[in-house]
C-alpha cells in the first residue's frame, strides 16, 4: 500500500492491527507513525492507551506484552516501537502477528533498512496488516514531490525555485519540508507561488550564484559569468561544496548526452526519458547544440577526474576553488 493510501485510510478511521513501516527513507515512516499517534486517540485516551517503546530498550516479549493489553475507556490502544530495527529478536513477533489483538494498533518503525522477505515474520503478514516499504526518492523525483507537497497546501512553486531547493537541499525530505514551511510563513498576504526571490531572502540560497546558474553559463559559454560563480563558490565553500557541484554537472551532462542520442525528440518523449520539466527543455536543446556528443563524453571524463581529485586522489594540495576553476576551464575549452 502506498503512503497516501495509508494516510487516507487512517483518516477514514480504517485502522489495521499492525503497521510495519520499513525502508531507507525515514520521512514517510515518521509521517505515518506520527499521524497515528496524533490522531487515533484523544488526549485523554492517550494517557492510558498510548505506549511508545524504543528498539534498543525492548525485546519481542516486551512488545507483545504491551500489544496484548486491552484499552482502558477507549476503543483502541496504540503501541509504537521506534527504531524497531534494533530489536534483536524481532522475528519472535511472528507469534503475535499471526493472531493480533484487534483493539491494538501496533506500529513498528523499522528504519534505514529492509526486512528480509524470506523470514517467517514477513510471510506471516496477512491482509489485515499493513506492510509499507519507504523508498528514497531519486534527485529527479524531488521537484515533483515539492510541487505535490505545495499543491496539497494550496500553493505553487516556479520551476527554477523548485530546482534551486533541490540543488541546495538534495533529497533530504525532512529538511526540504522544514524549509518549505519557513517559506510559506514568509509569503506575503495573497501570495500563493514561491519564486527564487523568496528562497534567496528567506533561506539564503543565492539566485545568481548557484549550480543552476553555472550550468546556464556553461551552456552559453559565458566564461565571465561561469568564473564569477566559481569564485563565489570559492569564497563560500561550506555552502557550495565541490562534490555537490560536480555531481550536479555530471547528471546534467549525462542528460545532455542522452538528449543527443534520442531519435524521437518530441517534447513528451524527451521529458519522459530525461525525467525533466518541460520548462528546462530549451536549455537541454541549447546545450546539445553547443556541446556535440564527443565533447560531452570528454566533459563527463573531466567530471570523473575532478571528482577523484576533490577527494585527494592525485591532487593533495589543490583547493576546491582551484580544482573547480580548472574543471570549468576544461569544459569551456
Digit-coded pLDDT (tens) for 16-36: 999 999 999 999 999 999 999
**Least confident interval from 12-16, 45-49, 118-122, 221-225:** 118-122
Q: What is the pLDDT of residue 303?
A: 96
Q: In whole angstroms, what is the distance from residue 277 CA to residue 220 CA?
A: 20
What local confidence, expressed as pLDDT, does residue 34 receive? 96
Q: Specify whether the CB–CB gap between 164 and 199 falls below 8 A.
A: yes
> For 243-283, how does the pLDDT look when each residue is reduced to its tens digit (9 = 90+)?
989 998 999 999 999 999 999 989 889 888 888 888 889 99
Predicted confidence at residue 252, as pLDDT, reads 93
Residues of the chain with CATH 1.10.8.60: 139-202
What is the arithmetic mean of pLDDT over 33-46?
95
Chosen CATH of 3-134 out of 3.40.190.10, 3.40.50.1820, 3.40.50.300, 3.20.20.105: 3.40.50.300
Output the CA–CA distances (angstroms, integers) from residue 273 to 255, 260, 266, in the order listed. Answer: 9, 12, 11
**Taking every pair of C-alpha atoms in the chain, what is the biggest distance, in angstroms?**
75
Range in 52-56, 125-129, 169-173, 304-308 the model is least confident about: 125-129
Please compute the mean of the pLDDT values over residues 92-103 and round it to a whole number: 92
Q: How confident is the model at residue 237 (pLDDT cuts 50, 70, 90)?
A: confident
Tell me what the pLDDT averaged over the chain comes to.
91
pTM of the predicted protein model:
0.77
Q: Does the 139-202 domain belong in CATH 1.10.8.60?
A: yes
Task: Give the angle 49-55-56 at the CA atoms, nearest 5°.
Answer: 130
Q: What is the mean pLDDT of residues 2-17?
A: 94
pLDDT band (50, 70, 90) for residue 306 = very high
pLDDT at 204 over 80: no
Grade residue 163 by pLDDT with cuts at 50, 70 and 90.
Answer: confident
| Calpha distance 5→313 (Å, rounded) | 48
Nearest in space to 296 (alpha carbons), one of 245, 252, 264: 252
Task: Provide mean pLDDT across the span 56-69.
Answer: 94
At 312, the pLDDT band (50, 70, 90 cuts) reads: confident
Per-residue pLDDT, 169:
83
Residue 301 pLDDT level (bands cut at 50, 70, 90): very high
pLDDT of residue 1: 78
pLDDT, average across residues 315-327: 89
Contact criterion met (CB below 8 Å) for 21 and 110 = yes
Comparison of pLDDT for 166 and 85, the residue scoring more: 85
How confident is residue 138, by pLDDT bands cut at 50, 70 and 90? confident
Kindly report, as residue ranges, where domains of CATH 1.20.272.10 are found in the chain.
Answer: 211-332
CB of 128 within 8 A of CB of 42? no
Q: Where in the chain is the domain with CATH 3.40.50.300?
A: 3-134
| Percent over 70 (pLDDT), the chain | 100
| Fold entry, domain 211-332 | Zinc Finger, Delta Prime; domain 3 (1.20.272)
Amino acid at each position: 500500500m502506498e503512503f497516501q493510501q495509508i494516510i487516507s485510510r487512517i483518516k477514514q478511521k480504517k485502522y489495521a492491527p499492525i503497521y510495519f513501516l520499513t525502508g531507507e527513507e525515514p520521512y514517510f515512516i515518521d509521517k505515518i507513525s506520527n499521524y497515528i499517534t496524533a490522531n487515533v486517540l484523544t488526549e485523554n485516551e492517550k494517557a492510558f492507551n498510548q505506549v511508545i517503546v524504543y528498539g534498543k530498550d525492548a525485546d519481542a516479549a516486551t512488545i507483545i506484552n504491551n500489544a496484548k493489553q486491552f484499552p482502558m475507556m477507549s476503543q483502541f490502544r496504540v503501541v509504537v516501537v521506534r527504531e524497531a530495527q534494533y530489536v534483536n529478536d524481532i522475528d519472535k513477533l511472528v507469534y503475535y502477528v499471526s493472531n493480533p489483538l484487534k483493539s491494538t494498533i501496533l506500529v513498528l518503525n523499522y528504519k534505514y533498512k529492509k526486512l528480509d522477505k524470506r523470514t517467517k515474520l514477513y510471510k506471516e503478514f496477512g491482509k489485515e496488516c499493513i506492510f509499507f516499504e519507504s523508498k528514497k526518492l531519486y534527485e529527479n523525483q524531488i521537484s515533483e514531490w515539492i510541487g505535490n507537497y505545495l499543491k496539497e497546501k494550496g500553493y505553487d512553486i516556479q520551476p527554477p525555485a523548485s530546482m534551486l531547493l533541490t540543488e541546495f537541499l538534495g533529497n533530504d525530505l525532512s529538511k526540504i519540508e522544514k524549509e518549505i514551511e519557513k517559506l510559506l510563513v514568509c509569503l506575503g498576504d495573497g501570495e500563493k507561488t514561491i519564486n527564487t526571490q523568496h528562497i534567496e531572502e528567506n533561506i539564503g540560497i543565492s539566485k545568481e550564484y548557484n549550480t543552476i546558474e553555472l550550468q546556464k553559463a556553461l551552456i552559453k559559454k559565458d566564461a565571465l559569468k561561469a568564473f564569477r560563480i566559481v569564485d563565489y563558490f570559492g569564497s563560500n565553500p561550506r555552502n557550495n561544496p565541490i562534490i555537490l557541484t560536480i555531481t550536479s554537472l555530471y547528471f546534467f551532462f549525462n542528460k545532455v548526452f542522452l538528449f543527443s542520442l534520442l531519435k524521437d525528440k518530441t517534447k513528451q518523449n524527451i521529458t519522459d526519458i530525461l525525467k525533466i520539466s518541460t520548462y528546462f527543455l530549451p536549455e537541454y536543446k541549447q546545450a546539445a547544440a553547443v556541446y556535440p556528443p564527443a565533447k560531452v563524453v570528454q566533459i563527463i571524463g573531466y567530471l570523473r577526474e575532478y571528482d577523484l581529485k576533490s577527494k585527494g586522489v592525485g591532487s593533495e594540495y589543490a583547493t576546491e576553488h582551484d580544482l573547480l576553476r580548472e574543471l570549468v576551464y576544461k569544459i569551456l575549452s
